[in-house]
């Protein structure tokens, strides 16, 4: 008996030693204490603690992935309920390991309740990986077959060593002819006789000849043939190598057929489209080359005047009249240069879709009268007669983006002024057409001139970017060739149309048709409203601005100097700061009535103008929240204006500053 006990101990020791050399580990579970103890080797192998109380929750939260905790809990529940053994497979919380655990109760108390259970744990990550790869490969194969069935009408597997085929994916009517498996050579013979157009039978027969197939494939992965099918139109048949023998000769191939009728149709359409695109691209390249040449000329012309007259003024500082003349010409050239830059930027923004309509309630008669007041002087300077006609009665209360409508009129009438010789006439007419929808009015605005007109060859291209008619007369007129494309884009954004009529030597007519939503209001424009020039505004503002103090937030020294000089000359008192943070601190420290208005640049260091305006509006004192703030910035687009208003500002002035607009805005706010 002694010898037998010793042998059993040796046997157990040997078993434990063998287990030590595997990835099998063990632990003890004490159900009544809800405690597990883990030996050092197991804890080290699985990077866990040596002891866990409050089982199985504590171990699960520390080690078991949530998706597999249910089965883990169930294993312990079975042991706690009295079962002799229980099993579970679960994933580690980091998903790096899969384990399988078997718990066996080895001792019970007098009532039969488990006291001690022995757990064996094994890492099965590699097995799980192999299992996942197997299922993945099966899913991949199924997906490939499904994908092939969407691309190919049918798909056969052919063993070249036996000459047999097997259908993988098929069509019912072809399967009824060829069967689902059998002799490949006979199947191809039937295929050729019953399914191939007569003119393609010989070439198809040669293509599917299995005796020469391996040689024709050679080192290629696949070979193909396009042919006409009796029932399916244009098709493409392909042999694809599946396996090769040790000598590299194909021994198993796939035979697939896809319908390419739509592809052939698209190829023909694409060819025609490509030809048209090629012609368009050539024309566009020629237009852009001409545009760059024109732009180089048109930008350098006012720049030359600015640089030249600045030099002349600098050398005649003692001649006040000469300097004044130079400054006048520098101002005119600067405005022209700015208009060129604006047109290029506007075209770029239109093409990128960044320009949006800002509709508001207006009276069309008022818009047109304001425009006439602005353009009249320009026409008078060229000795042109400018006439405005408006039909009556007219639904003139409409929603429209007044600034963009103004831009359209300026482009059209501005061109008419440029291209009409002295003594000519320009007619602007507004009329309303019948409209079925009572909420909208349909308006026609025509601009007709007696100018030089356009040739019949150029007329179809008048709205294309960068296009300018090259004649001796037109070439002397400054322009970018972008005004008409911008006009057309704005009109179409408004839901309207624009067309042109012209005859060389007799003039041009541009006709705009716009659908505009109506609003209820007075039908007559208030003719008593005063239209003031910038200098009249300056004169009227003198009594308003005396003693008014402005805080100017501007980080650029030159811009600061210009603004201070203009404002102090007009009678303002001006304090300056260099960034938004200084502006906020200055206003916060100011007393009641210290400042009447803030002019705020946007792009400044430390704190920009938007942030500064928001900070001032958030101040607790009501007087500060009501203090007028005007953005005075080179951020000059519609979204910049909108952003300034959203930040709490009361208005937006774009740089370079138009003195007339500046004074008009200040006058309106401070009067």
User: Does residue 301 form part of some domain?
Assistant: yes
| Statement to judge: residues 564 and 501 lie in one domain | no
Would you say residue 491 has pLDDT above 80? yes
**Which residues have C-beta within 8 Å of that of residue 669, sequence separation ≥ 6?**
597, 628, 630, 650, 651
Q: Are 379 and 386 in contact (CB under 8 A)?
A: yes
| Residue 365 confidence class, pLDDT cut points 50, 70, 90 | confident
CA-based nearest residue to 477, from 485, 468, 486: 468
| Statement to judge: residues 611 and 651 lie in one domain | yes
* Number of domains comprising the chain: 5
Neighbours of 261 (CB within 10 A): 13
Q: Give the range with max mean pLDDT: 228-232, 277-281, 359-363, 582-586.
A: 582-586
Query: What per-residue confidence (pLDDT) applies to 297?
Result: 57
Among residues 351, 384, 404, the one where a domain terminates is 351
Residue 393 preceded by cis peptide, ω within 30: yes
Among residues 487, 517, 547, the one where a domain terminates is 517
User: Does residue 364 form part of some domain?
Assistant: yes
The mean of the pLDDT values for the chain is: 81
| Residue 351 confidence class, pLDDT cut points 50, 70, 90 | low
Pairing of the two strands 181-183 and 222-229: unpaired
Q: Which residue has the higher pLDDT, 360 or 29?
A: 29
| Statement to judge: residues 347 and 232 lie in one domain | no
Would you say residue 668 has pLDDT above 90? no
| Statement to judge: residues 368 and 512 lie in one domain | yes
| Statement to judge: residues 35 and 163 lie in one domain | no
Q: Give the range with max mean pLDDT: 139-153, 458-472, 521-535.
A: 458-472
pLDDT exceeding 70 applies to what percent of the chain? 82
User: Does residue 483 form part of some domain?
Assistant: yes
Query: What per-residue confidence (pLDDT) applies to 5?
Result: 47
Burial 10-34 (b: 16+ CB within 10 A, else e): eeeeeeeeeeeeeeebebebbbeeb
| Statement to judge: residues 506 and 556 lie in one domain | no
| Statement to judge: residues 441 and 300 lie in one domain | no
Residue 576 Cα to chain centre, angstroms: 40
Neighbours of 41 (CB within 10 A): 12
| Statement to judge: residues 326 and 397 lie in one domain | no
Phi, psi (degrees; rounded to nearest 5) at 605: -70, 170
Q: Which two tokens stand for residue 628?
A: 């007028």
pLDDT (tens digit, 9 = 90+) per residue, 570-579? 888 999 999 9
Query: What per-residue confidence (pLDDT) applies to 475?
Result: 46
pLDDT (tens digit, 9 = 90+) per residue, 161-189? 999 998 887 777 788 888 888 999 999 99
Would you say residue 154 has pLDDT above 60? yes
Query: What per-residue confidence (pLDDT) applies to 526?
Result: 44
d(CA 375, CA 389): 15
Q: Which residue has the higher pLDDT, 424 or 141?
A: 424
Helix H or strand E segment including 102: strand 98-108
Domain that holds residue 496: 360-517
User: Does residue 522 form part of some domain?
Assistant: no
Would you say residue 232 has pLDDT above 60? yes
| Statement to judge: residues 368 and 513 lie in one domain | yes
| Statement to judge: residues 380 and 410 lie in one domain | yes
d(CA 590, CA 628): 15
Among residues 485, 517, 549, the one where a domain terminates is 517
Q: Are 102 and 118 in contact (CB under 8 A)?
A: no
pLDDT (tens digit, 9 = 90+) per residue, 22-70? 567 888 999 999 999 988 888 887 778 889 998 998 888 888 899 889 9
The region of weakest confidence among 130-134, 146-150, 412-416 is 146-150
The region of weakest confidence among 556-560, 601-605, 667-671 is 667-671
pLDDT (tens digit, 9 = 90+) per residue, 299-329? 766 777 788 788 888 888 888 888 888 888 8
User: Does residue 66 form part of some domain?
Assistant: yes
Q: Which two tokens stand for residue 441?
A: 């009015």
Would you say residue 262 has pLDDT above 70? yes
pLDDT (tens digit, 9 = 90+) per residue, 86-125? 999 888 887 777 888 889 998 998 888 999 998 888 888 7
The region of weakest confidence among 247-251, 613-617, 633-637 is 633-637
Would you say residue 11 has pLDDT above 70? no
| Statement to judge: residues 555 and 601 lie in one domain | yes
What is the domain-level CATH number for residue 634? 3.40.50.2300
Query: What per-residue confidence (pLDDT) applies to 139?
Result: 67
Q: Which residue has the higher pLDDT, 433 or 130?
A: 433
Q: Which residue has the higher pLDDT, 627 or 626?
A: 627
pTM score of the predicted model: 0.42
Would you say residue 250 has pLDDT above 90? yes
Query: What per-residue confidence (pLDDT) applies to 304?
Result: 73
Beta-bridge mates of residue 114: 108
d(CA 131, CA 94): 19
Place of tokens 């040790």: 246
User: Does residue 524 form part of some domain?
Assistant: no
Write the secondary structure of 564-603 as one string of H (helix), E (strand) and C (coil).
Answer: HHHHHHHCCEEEEECCHHHHHHHHHHCCCCCCCEEEECCC
User: Does residue 266 form part of some domain?
Assistant: no
| Statement to judge: residues 305 and 374 lie in one domain | no
pLDDT (tens digit, 9 = 90+) per residue, 502-539? 988 889 999 999 999 898 764 444 444 444 544 555 56
Query: What per-residue confidence (pLDDT) applies to 346?
Result: 64
| Residue 396 confidence class, pLDDT cut points 50, 70, 90 | confident
User: Does residue 531 form part of some domain?
Assistant: no
**Coil, helix or strand at residue 383:** coil
Range 434-462 average pLDDT: 88
What is the domain-level CATH number for residue 511? 3.30.565.10
Contacts of 563-566 with C-beta under 8 Å, sequence gap 24+, read: 563/599, 563/632, 563/657, 566/657, 566/659, 566/662
Would you say residue 394 has pLDDT above 80? yes
């Amino acid at each position: 008996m002694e010898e037998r006990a010793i042998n059993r101990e040796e046997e157990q020791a040997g078993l434990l030693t063998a287990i030590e050399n595997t990835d099998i580990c063990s632990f003890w579970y004490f159900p009544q204490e809800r405690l597990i103890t883990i030996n050092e080797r197991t804890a080290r192998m699985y990077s866990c603690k040596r002891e866990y109380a409050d089982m199985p929750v504590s171990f699960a939260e520390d080690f078991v992935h949530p998706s597999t905790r249910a089965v883990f809990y169930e294993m312990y529940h079975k042991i706690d309920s009295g079962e002799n053994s229980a099993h579970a497979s679960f994933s580690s919380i980091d998903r790096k390991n899969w384990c399988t655990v078997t718990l066996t109760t080895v001792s019970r108390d007098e009532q039969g309740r488990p006291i001690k259970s022995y757990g064996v744990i094994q890492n099965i990550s590699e097995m799980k990986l192999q299992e996942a790869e197997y299922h993945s490969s099966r899913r991949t194969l199924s997906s490939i077959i499904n994908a092939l069935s969407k691309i190919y009408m049918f798909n056969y597997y052919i063993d070249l060593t036996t000459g047999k085929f097997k259908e993988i994916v098929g069509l019912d009517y072809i399967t009824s002819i060829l069967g689902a498996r059998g002799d490949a050579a006979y199947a191809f013979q039937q295929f050729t006789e019953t399914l191939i157009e007569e003119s393609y039978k010989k070439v198809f027969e040669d293509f599917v000849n299995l005796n020469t197939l391996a040689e024709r494939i050679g080192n290629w992965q696949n070979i193909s043939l396009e042919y006409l099918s009796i029932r399916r139109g244009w098709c493409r048949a392909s042999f694809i190598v599946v396996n090769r023998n040790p000598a590299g000769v194909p021994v198993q191939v796939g035979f697939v057929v896809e319908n390419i009728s739509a592809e052939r149709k698209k190829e023909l359409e694409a060819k025609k489209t490509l030809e048209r695109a090629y012609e368009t691209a050539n024309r566009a390249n020629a237009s852009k080359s001409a545009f760059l040449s024109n732009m180089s000329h048109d930008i350098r012309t006012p720049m030359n005047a600015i640089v030249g007259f600045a030099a002349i003024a600098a050398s005649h500082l003692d001649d006040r009249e000469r300097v004044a003349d130079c400054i006048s010409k520098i101002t005119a050239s600067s405005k022209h240069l700015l208009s060129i830059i604006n047109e290029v930027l506007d075209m770029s923004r239109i093409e990128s879709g960044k320009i949006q309509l800002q509709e508001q309630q207006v009276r069309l008669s008022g818009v047109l009268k304001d425009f006439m007041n602005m353009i009249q002087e320009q026409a008078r300077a060229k000795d042109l007669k400018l006439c405005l006609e408006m039909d009556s009665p007219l639904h003139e209360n409409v929603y429209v983006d007044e600034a963009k409508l103004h831009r359209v009129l300026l482009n059209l009438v501005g061109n008419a002024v440029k291209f009409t010789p002295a003594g000519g006439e320009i007619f602007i007419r507004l009329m309303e057409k019948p409209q079925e929808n009572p909420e909208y009015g349909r308006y026609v605005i025509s601009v007709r001139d007696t100018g030089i007109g356009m040739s019949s060859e150029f007329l179809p291209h008048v709205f294309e970017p960068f296009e300018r008619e090259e004649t001796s007369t037109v070439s002397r007129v400054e322009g970018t060739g972008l005004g008409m494309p911008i006009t057309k884009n704005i009109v179409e954004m408004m839901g309207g149309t624009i067309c042109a009529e012209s005859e060389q030597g007799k003039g041009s007519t541009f006709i705009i048709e716009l659908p505009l939503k109506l609003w209820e209001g007075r039908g007559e424009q208030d003719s008593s409203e005063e239209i003031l020039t910038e200098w009249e505004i300056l004169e009227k503002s003198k009594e308003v601005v005396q003693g008014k103090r402005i805080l100017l937030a501007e980080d650029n020294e030159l811009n600061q100097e210009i603004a201070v000089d203009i404002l102090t000359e007009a009678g303002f008192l001006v304090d300056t700061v260099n960034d938004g943070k200084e502006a906020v601190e200055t206003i916060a420290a100011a007393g009641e009535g210290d400042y009447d208005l803030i002019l705020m640049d946007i792009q400044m260091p430390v704190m920009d103008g938007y942030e500064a305006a928001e900070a001032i509006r958030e101040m607790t004192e009501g007087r500060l929240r009501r203090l007028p703030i005007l953005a005075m910035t080179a951020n000059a687009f519609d979204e910049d204006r909108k952003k300034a208003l959203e930040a709490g500002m009361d208005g937006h002035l774009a740089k370079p500053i138009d003195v007339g607009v500046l004074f008009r805005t200040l006058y309106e706010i401070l009067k």
